[in-house]
Structure 1
């Protein structure tokens, strides 16, 4: 199992548009991916409601976990997505 950590950069935290983009990207991977706060509960990264329920604010570190043949590169893509500074109109 691969894992990757990232500090959320989005000024609005992990909210609507970013969550939708993140969950769609996770679903394209075709293998299980979970996300959670450090030392916290993990949820299915493809579930918009579950990811929103994590209530992640700007500056919070999250951990991504994946199990699959392309897990490492998929996690890096997701880390890059969450590491962006998403502004008010993105």
Structure 2
């Protein structure tokens, strides 16, 4: 395997600091789906052709398929565990 010059501690598909990024896909009919890819990777590998044009057909993920031409918006979310505050002393 050829060295790529990228840091070896950052996992592909992760954002800065190795936080796993996911993307929430909102469709024009109001449905939403969560996929385990960041927006850049999702766009480059699943939603567009090599020339950058949008795929007008079904794209299959685990458990569902969608047509990218029906995507209303994309929202990138990180998969960091949320910090839970301690209970107030009066509870």
TM-score (norm 1): 0.28
Q: Which has the higher contact order (CA 8 A, sep 6+)?
A: 1
TM-score (norm 2): 0.28
Greater helix percent: which structure? 1
